Each structure stands twice: as C-alpha cells, then as structure tokens.
C-alpha cells in the first residue's frame, strides 16, 4: 500500500484540516475515529479511505518511517506509564499550504490512547511539487525532517523547503527527487529533551 495516511497517521491535504480525534486500543490498533475523518480522507485525492478500512488496523501500518515510529512508541509508553498527556507541535505541509499542527496523546481507560489533532496555523503558498503525494519522481533521493519539514541540502544543512529549492533547483523540477524521512538535529534534540521531562511538550518546527 502507498502511504495514504502519511507519516504521522495524518493526511496533509491542501484544504483545511478539521479537528481530528482517534483512539487506539491497548494493542495500538485504531479503534475509533471521529466523524470528521471521512470527508477529510476523501478530500485529499489520495486513496479512498473510510473508517471501515482503517478500523482494527495497527497504527504502525500507517507510519512508514522507522525513526518516526520509534518516537511514537516512546510516547505511547510514556503516556501509558505516567498517565500525563504528551503534546507535540509539528509541521504537516501540503504542496500549497504550510501548516503547523498540535497533537495531544492522552491516556484513556484500559490502556487506550486518544489522539487529538488541531491546526495551529496555516499559510498558503505557490504549490511545491516536492510535496505532491504521487508525482513522477527522479531516481534521486532527498531527506526531509518528518517533524519540521526542513530539507537536508548538501553543504547547506537543513533548510525550509523554499530555501532548499533556491539552493538546489533540482528539487523544483517536474520530476523532483524521492523523499525519505529523517529527523534533523534540532528536532532530535527537542524530542530527546521533551521525553526526559514532565510534562512532555515538544515544539518541532515553526510557522
């Protein structure tokens, strides 16, 4: 399956994201989603998804990047052990929209986890082919931070997408490089710091 839900169990559509709520059971299977989910999923133009197709599936099926999965597993353990919610603020851009999301993961009864997602800020921009979900791609690869959406550009470090395109015009070609996800040093440090404190609140990316 292509990754219809993206790397954070979230679509990042070019339309506004409603407040989303979903719940995982003790085995990390998706056990409920709120009614905003269906129009949200179908509006994306990706593979059609409805609650029936994701209900009962492991959340890990929808978080393709291993490093990102690892961080979510640490967060799950933390919430289930301590009971205090964790909050993450991260970028979830669409081709024509910069977006900053707030995610709260809190504990429910019977080791359930409740995910709550809100949009904090959005800005429109000229569409960026690099973020199109299914464009033709070249054989090259570029790494994007799964949390702040900055791009690793050789000899420049991690740059905002627009700055990365200015430094490396190949990123804006009709067949842009394929994306691999990673964690930049700034986000890695922020996550590490947040995970060693109570309550956990990590700001990963700005807008």
Tokens of 151: 């791009």
Q: Does 100 bind Zn ion (CB under 5 A)?
A: no
Q: Does 190 bind Zn ion (CB under 5 A)?
A: no
Q: Does 147 bind Zn ion (CB under 5 A)?
A: yes
32: left (phi over 0), alpha (psi -120 to 50) or beta: beta
Q: Does 40 bind Zn ion (CB under 5 A)?
A: no
Q: Which helix (H) or strand (E) holds 119?
A: strand 113-124
Taking the complex as a whole, the smallest distance from the CB of residue 192 to Zn ion amounts, in Å, to 12
Q: Which helix (H) or strand (E) holds 143?
A: strand 141-145
Question: Which residues, 6+ apart, have CB-to-CB distance to 39 below 8 Å?
Answer: none
Total number of residues binding Zn ion (CB under 5 A)? 5
Helix (H, G, I), strand (E, B) or coil at 107: strand
Q: Does 145 bind Zn ion (CB under 5 A)?
A: yes
Q: Does 184 bind Zn ion (CB under 5 A)?
A: yes
Q: Which stretch binds Zn ion (CB under 5 A): 25-33, 72-80, 140-148, 169-177?
A: 140-148
Q: Which residues bind Zn ion (CB under 5 A)?
A: 145, 147-148, 184, 187
């Amino acid at each position: 399956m292509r990754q219809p839900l993206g790397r954070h169990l979230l679509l990042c559509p070019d339309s506004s994201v409603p407040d989303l709520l979903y719940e995982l059971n003790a085995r990390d299977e998706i056990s409920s989603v709120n009614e905003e989910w269906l129009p949200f999923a179908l509006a994306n133009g990706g593979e059609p998804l409805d609650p029936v197709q994701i209900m009962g599936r492991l959340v890990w099926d929808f978080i393709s990047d291993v490093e990102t999965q690892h961080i979510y597993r640490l967060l799950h353990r933390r919430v289930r052990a301590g009971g205090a919610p964790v909050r993450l603020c991260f970028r979830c851009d669409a081709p024509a929209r910069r977006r900053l999301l707030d995610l709260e993961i809190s504990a429910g009864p019977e080791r359930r986890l409740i995910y709550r997602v809100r949009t904090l800020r959005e800005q429109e921009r000229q569409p960026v082919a690099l973020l199109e979900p299914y464009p033709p791609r070249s054989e090259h690869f570029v790494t994007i931070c799964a949390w702040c959406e900055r791009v690793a550009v050789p000899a420049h470090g991690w740059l905002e997408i627009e700055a990365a395109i200015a430094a490396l015009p190949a990123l804006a070609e009709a067949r842009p490089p394929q994306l691999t996800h990673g964690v930049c040093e700034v986000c890695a440090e922020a996550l590490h710091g947040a995970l060693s404190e109570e309550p956990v609140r990590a700001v990963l990316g700005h807008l």
